[in-house]
Chain A
Amino acid sequence: MARIIQRKKLVPNIHLLEVYAPEVARKARPGQFVILMPDEFGERIPLTIADWDAEKGTVTSVFMIVGTSTAKLAQLRTGDEIPVYVGPLGRPSEIDYFGSVLCAGGCFGLGAIYPLARAYKQAGNRVVTLLDVRARYLLYWEDKLRSVSDEVHLVSRDDQKLPQEYIPYRLKMILEQGGHLDRVHVIGCTYLMATCSEATRPYKVKTIVSLNPIMLDGTGMCGACRVTVGGATRFACVDGPDFDGHLVDWNELYARRKAYLEDESRSLCEWETRIYPEEEII
C-alpha cells in the first residue's frame, strides 16, 4: 500500500503522482521505474521515477492517460491508497562526467528526464535540455528543467514565436551547427526516441534511450518486455530500461507496444461506461 501525497493534472492528459513510499524513495536512482496497480483489478504498469525525496519518503512520477489503468490512476486523490507500488526497478542510468550531455524529453518524458538532467549536471556535465511539446500549453516543469540545465531548447508545433519543428530536426540542427555533444539521453514516446536516435546516428553520438515496452512482473520473470538490441533479445525490466538507441530494433518495439490496442480500447470504453469519470480527468 502506498498513500497518495499528491495527484494533479499537470497539463491535459498528463498527471503527476506523488506517493509516500519511503523504501522506494531511499533507493531510487535516475533512470529507474516503479510498477503499480491503481486498484486490485488494474494492470501492473511501469512509470519512470521523475523525482523523489529520501527524507520525506516520497516518490513522484509523471504519467499520461493511455488506457484503463492510467485513467483509474488519474481519478485517485490525495490520501487514497494504491494497493501495489513496487520499486525501484530496472538498472539505474549510467551517470558520469561525459562532457556535454543533451537530455531530450517529450510528453510524460519532460518529467522523466528531469532526474537525469539533474544527475548529469551534478556529475559536472554541461547539460543541454531539449523539450518537445505538441502545443505550447502542454509544457510543464519548465522551471524545474531550467534549474538543472545550462541551455534549454523548446520545440512545439503551435507557437508562432518558436520554430515549427519536431524535436529530431532541432537535435540535428544543434549537431550540424557544430554543437559538440558527448552523449544524448532521450525519454518519451517510442517515436520520439527512435527519431532522435536516427538524428544522432550520422554523428556517432552515443544515444541512450529509456525503453517503455509493455511489462508485467517487472522483475525478470515473464519476458513480456523483451526487445531486440544489437540483434540479441534483452529484457527491458532487468537489462534496461536504458539501451543504446542506435542498436534498438524500433520496428519490433512499435509493433509489440501495439499488441493489445483493441483490447485496451475495449477495456477503456467499458470502464468509462461503467464508472462515468467523476471529474474531468483529461
Chain B
Amino acid sequence: MAEKDELSAEVKERLKSEYQKPWRQELRRALSVKERSKIPRQKMPERPAEVRIKDFREVNLGLEAEAARMEARRCLDCANPACVKGCPVSIDIPSFVKLVEIGEFVLAARKIKETNSLPAICGRVCPQETQCEAVCNLKKATGVPVAIGNLERFVADFERQNGEVFIPSIPPPSGKKVAVIGAGPAGLTVAGELAKKGHRVTVFEALHVAGGVLVYGIPEFRLPKSILKAEVDYLERLGVEIKLNFVVGKTATLDDLRAEGYEAFFIGTGAGLPNFMKIPGENLIGIYSANEYLTRVNLMRAYDFPRYDTPVLKGERVAVIGGGNVAMDSVRTAKRLGAKRAMIIYRRSRQEMPAREEEVKHAEEEGIEFHFLTVPIRYLGDEHGRVRAMECQRMELGAPDSSGRRRPIPVPGSEFTVEVDLVVVAIGQSPNPLIPQTTAGMKVGKWGNIEVDWSTMATNMEGVYAGGDIVRGGATVILAMGDGRLAAASIDEYLRRK
C-alpha cells in the first residue's frame, strides 16, 4: 500500500498541535536522533515453534513494558511523520509512541482509540510492513522501522489487562435508530462510533458469535478470541445492541427494518462465496475452501472434536492453495492439526506473496513447505471420492499485470503430481450475495460488490452505507475499519441533517 498523497487539513492540524506540546519538545531534546537510531528494534517475544505447533494458543507473547518503552525511544518524533500517511485510518502514531516512551500506556491507548476503536486487534493483524512501518523515516535511515504494530498491541493489551478501558460519556440519545448489518470489523467500528454519538445502534449478525472474519477466519494463535470478546463487551457497554442469528435479507429485509423505524443502515456483510479455480476434481472430499476449513476449526472448534460435535478432516499431506494471510492461517492450522507435510502452493514467487511478513516468518519456523511458481491444474480422487493427489504445473513470471505484480505463465510440459489427502483453496472470495439479492434497486458492480461513493461510503440508496469486503471484494481488517469510520461520520451527518 502506498503512502497517502496528503493528509487532511484537520489531521495535519491535530498532528501539529500535539507535536508542539512542551513535553514532546522536551522529550525530543532528551535523546539525540543519532542515539535513538542506535537502539536496536526490540524483539517480539514468541513461543518456540516446536511448542506452539502442538496447540492453538497465541504465538506472540507481547512486549514487556520496559521493552516497549525502549522501542518507543527509537521513534524520532519526526516533524513530518510519514507513518501517519501510511496508516489507512491516520492514527496519530508519534503521539501514542511518545506516550509509551514516557510510560503513559493508558493515555497512549486512548490516543489510538481517537481514530481506531480496535487497537488490540489491529496491532495483531494489520500488515504494518506495507503501511505505517513501510514509510517510517527511521526505516529510511537505518533500514529498520519502529515496531509500531507491536507498540499498538502493547498499549491496547495494557489498557485491557489493567482494567483501564475507558467508557466515554455518551451524549443524550439522538432518538435515531441505526441498523448495522454484519458484526465484522467494519460493522463493529460503525457501531462503536455511532453509539458514542448518541444514536441507538443495533448490529445484526447472521452467525451465533459476533466478530465476522475475526472470529470465524483468523485463528486463535494469531488473534485470541478473548480479545475480540473484550471489544464486543466494550461495544455493549456503549449501549450497542447485538442481535445474533439474524440474517438481514432473509430474517428481515432492509425495507422491513426501515418499517421498524431504522433510519440509517450500514452494510458490512463481508466475504461471500469462496472462489474456486474451476479445475477438475475440485469438489472431491477433502478439498475445502479456506472459509469452510477455518470456520470449522475456529468458530465451530473442530480442533476440540469430539467435545464439540463439528468434525474437520485431518490430512497428513495438506496443500493450501494461495499466498495471502488466509492461506498462511490455513496451512498453520493444518500443521497444528497434525499434518506431516503442510504445504503452500503459490503461483508466483515469494516476493509477490500478499501475506504479512510475520505470518510467513512464523510459517517457515513452523516447518511449512513453500512451493512457489506452482499451480494445481487437476485433483485426483480415490474410489470413495476423496482427494488423493493433485497434478500441478510450474509457472514462470512474465510482464507485470494490472495489479503491478508479474503475471505467472504456465511452463509447458512441467506437470507433476503431488500426493495430498487434504487441500484448502485460499484464493479469495466474492462479496456476500444476500443483501444485493434481496434489496431491490441496490447498485452492485460486476463482481457483486456494492458500489459506494468513496468520499462518504454511501450507496445509491437513501440512508444506506456500506464498507469492508462487501464493497472491496477482499481486503484487510484495517481497511474495513477505515471504511467503518468514514461511513459512521457520514451516517451521523446524514441523521443530523434529516
Binding site for B on A (CB under 8 A): 23-24, 27, 37, 41-44, 67-69, 72, 83-89, 216-217, 219-224, 226-228, 233, 235, 238, 251-252, 255-256, 258-260, 263-264, 266-267, 270-271
Contact (Cβ within 8 A) B434 A220: yes
Nearest CB to that of B289 among chain A residues?
Answer: A223
Given known pairs A84-B245, A221-B271, A221-B272, the reply for A256 and B306 (CB within 8 Å) is no
Contact (Cβ within 8 A) B251 A23: yes
Contact (Cβ within 8 A) A267 B251: no
Contact (Cβ within 8 A) A266 B306: yes
Q: Does B393 contact A (CB under 8 A)?
A: no
Nearest CB to that of B286 among chain A residues?
Answer: A259
Q: Does B300 contact A (CB under 8 A)?
A: yes
B271-299 vs A, Cβ < 8 Å mask (1 yes, 0 no): 11110101000111110110110011000
- Measured between beta carbons, the chain A residues less than 8 angstroms from B247 are 86-87, 89, 219
Given known pairs A89-B247, A221-B271, A228-B283, the reply for A216 and B385 (CB within 8 Å) is no
- Measured between beta carbons, the chain B residues less than 8 angstroms from A235 are 273
Q: How far is the CB of B273 from chain A (nearest CB, A)?
A: 5
**CA–CA, A84 to B244, complex, Å?**
9
Nearest CB to that of A226 among chain B residues?
Answer: B283
B255-276 vs A, Cβ < 8 Å mask (1 yes, 0 no): 0000000000000001111101
Given known pairs A87-B251, A223-B273, the reply for A43 and B300 (CB within 8 Å) is yes
Binding site for A on B (CB under 8 A): 206-208, 216, 244-247, 250-252, 270-274, 276, 278, 282-286, 288-289, 291-292, 295-296, 300, 305-311, 313, 384-386, 429, 432-434, 437
Contact (Cβ within 8 A) B282 A233: yes
**CA–CA, A69 to B206, complex, Å?**
20
What's the A-B contact tally at a CB cutoff of 8 Å? 129
**CA–CA, A60 to B247, complex, Å?**
19
**CA–CA, A56 to B273, complex, Å?**
35
Contact (Cβ within 8 A) B306 A270: yes
Contact (Cβ within 8 A) B208 A84: yes
- Measured between beta carbons, the chain A residues less than 8 angstroms from B309 are 41-43, 67-69, 72, 267, 271
Q: How far is the CB of A94 from chain B (nearest CB, A)?
A: 15
Specify the main secondary structure of chain B where it touches its partner: loop
- Measured between beta carbons, the chain A residues less than 8 angstroms from B434 are 219-220, 238
Given known pairs A217-B207, A226-B283, the reply for A233 and B276 (CB within 8 Å) is yes
**CA–CA, A23 to B206, complex, Å?**
13
Q: Which of B206, B306, B308, B309 has its CB near the most chain A CB atoms (within 10 A)?
A: B309
- Measured between beta carbons, the chain B residues less than 8 angstroms from A85 are 245
Q: How far is the CB of A79 from chain B (nearest CB, A)?
A: 19
- Measured between beta carbons, the chain B residues less than 8 angstroms from A238 are 273, 433-434, 437
Given known pairs A85-B245, A226-B283, the reply for A24 and B385 (CB within 8 Å) is no
Contact (Cβ within 8 A) B305 A267: yes
**CA–CA, A87 to B208, complex, Å?**
12
9 contacts between A and B (CB under 8 A): A68-B309, A221-B271, A223-B289, A228-B283, A233-B283, A235-B273, A259-B313, A263-B305, A267-B309
**CA–CA, A89 to B273, complex, Å?**
15
**CA–CA, A238 to B273, complex, Å?**
9
- Measured between beta carbons, the chain B residues less than 8 angstroms from A266 are 306
Partner of A89, one of B250, B282, B288: B250
Contact (Cβ within 8 A) B313 A256: no
Nearest CB to that of A269 among chain B residues?
Answer: B306
Partner of A264, one of B252, B311, B429: B311
